[in-house]
Amino acid sequence: MAQKEQFEIDRTLISLAYNDSLATRDVYGFRSSAGNVQLDGFLFRPIGKPSKTLIIYMHPASTVHHLPLPMELVRMGYHVLCAGSRYNRNESALIMENVVRDYAVYVHHMKERMGYEKIVVAGWSGGGSLTAFYQAMAEKPTITQTPAGDPVDLTGMIPGDAMIFHAAHLSRAEILRDFIDPSVVDEHNPAIRDVELDLYDPRNPNKPPYSADYLEHFRQSQLARMRRRTALARETLELIRTGTTDEIERCMLTHRTLANPLFLDATIDPNDRRINWCFMGDPKTANSSPAGVGRFSNTRAWLSQWSFDDTNAHAEIHAPNISVPMLAIENSADDAIPGTHTKRFFNAYAGEDKTYKLMKGANHYYVDQPQELADAIDLIHGWLDARGFVD
């Protein structure tokens, strides 16, 4: 590794199934009516380089094996598992507590069946809050039900031996609170909007740099809309549970969810990011895109992953309950995650061995940034090597 040896990569499908009986079938992919959950991930290994250490990357709703950093880690000699949850590429029914259970199945399999002795749990982007949630529950389980009140068993899980929090946010709910467009007046007709809260309407008299009073009003309006959506989710779920209808779930559509003022104003949480841009491209276009954050959800999924007041998956809340060594990496030109999230997680972390590093100039995905990517690899390698995770 010191000579920057580049390894060829072997890719192995890790396909796991386990029983998780639920009241509803919330995803495609159940193998039988008994409720077996199917999980698919990819184990990437450098050919000719055995290791007893495994780095796991897991995201609640997507896989990360197409990202440059995990693959570069493998080329540099690390074994990496890119794990997919039961909700892979379909977050509309996503229950964060269920994803934690999925995570536990991977860790158990990789330790007990595949023989890895040390597990590094690595959270990138949306995987950060998931990883913190998992590690905290594996060290000291405290949660026994989802925010919707459905029972969940998070006991008996194997904790990771170290943690990486990389370009990650604190929670999906907090991200949506900062992203959601408060200008929507009618949830059934998003064309009806409050001009003074519409960042993308040229008639809006408020322009960047936004005043402190306007930002306060904007943020409070965002939170108010979030809570209206949460109230709808709770009312709908109660209606379902009373037996008034013959439904077992109902879906929600939330329009316009990418209107964070910091995309347009460089003075808000200043870093090296590109202005009038975001991780999904042009923010005005992305605001109404079908792929928008939190666009589709059912009632239970909204409460678990998107409700600011209800979600259990908040990294800052779990940070005081995690004890293993932790590396927190902030990308200074991140066009998705505010740098304040990394600092807040680091400051709340209870473990004695914690490290914070700023990757100067790095964007969220290291797109077209080979030097910044190489610097990040060097940082991770040095940190792991100093703690005995390099064979």
Work out whether the CA dihedral 22, 28, 30, 33 comes out positive or negative: positive
Greatest C-alpha distance within the chain: 68
Residue 58 phi, psi dihedral angles, 5° rounding: -140, 135
pLDDT of 112 > 70? The answer is yes
pLDDT for 61 equals: 95
- Other beta carbons within 10 angstroms of residue 117's beta carbon come to 11
Average pLDDT, the chain: 94
Give the pLDDT confidence of 113-137 residue by residue, as tens digits. 999 999 999 999 999 999 999 999 9
Lowest mean pLDDT among 245-249, 342-346, 375-379: 245-249
- % of the chain surpassing 70 pLDDT: 95
- Both tokens assigned to 237: 């779920």
CA distance 170 to 201: 30
pLDDT band at 146 (very low <50, low <70, confident <90, very high): very high
CA distance 57 to 364: 16
User: Pairing relation of β-strands 251-253 and 189-193?
Assistant: unpaired
pLDDT of 18 > 90? The answer is yes
pLDDT band at 2 (very low <50, low <70, confident <90, very high): very low
pLDDT for 161 equals: 98
- % of the chain surpassing 90 pLDDT: 88
**Residues 312-325, mean pLDDT to the nearest whole number:** 98
pLDDT band at 29 (very low <50, low <70, confident <90, very high): very low
The type of residue at 166 is: H
pLDDT of 3 > 80? The answer is no
pLDDT of 390 > 50? The answer is yes
Please name which of 229, 223, 220, 218 lies closest in space to residue 194, comparing C-alpha atoms: 218
CA distance 219 to 203: 20
Hey, which residues does 97 pair with through a beta bridge?
none
Give the pLDDT confidence of 47-82 residue by residue, as tens digits. 999 999 999 999 999 989 989 999 999 999 999 999
Q: Which residue has the tokens 């991930």?
A: 41
Domains of the chain, start order: 9-171+312-386 (3.40.50.1820), 174-306 (no CATH)
- Residues of 230-249 as b/e, b for ≥16 C-beta within 10 angstroms? bebbbebbeebeeeeeeeeb
Query: Going along 130-222, which residue ranges are E strands?
Result: 162-166, 184-186, 189-193
**Contact predicate 341/165, CB 8 Å:** no
pLDDT of 28 > 70? The answer is no
Lowest mean pLDDT among 16-20, 71-75, 153-157: 16-20
pLDDT band at 5 (very low <50, low <70, confident <90, very high): confident
Lowest mean pLDDT among 15-19, 153-157, 353-357: 15-19
pLDDT of 23 > 50? The answer is yes
pLDDT of 33 > 80? The answer is no
pLDDT for 300 equals: 96
pLDDT of 106 > 80? The answer is yes
pLDDT of 27 > 90? The answer is no
- Other beta carbons within 10 angstroms of residue 198's beta carbon come to 19
pLDDT band at 20 (very low <50, low <70, confident <90, very high): confident
CA distance 330 to 263: 17
Give the pLDDT confidence of 290-314 residue by residue, as tens digits. 988 999 999 999 999 999 999 999 9
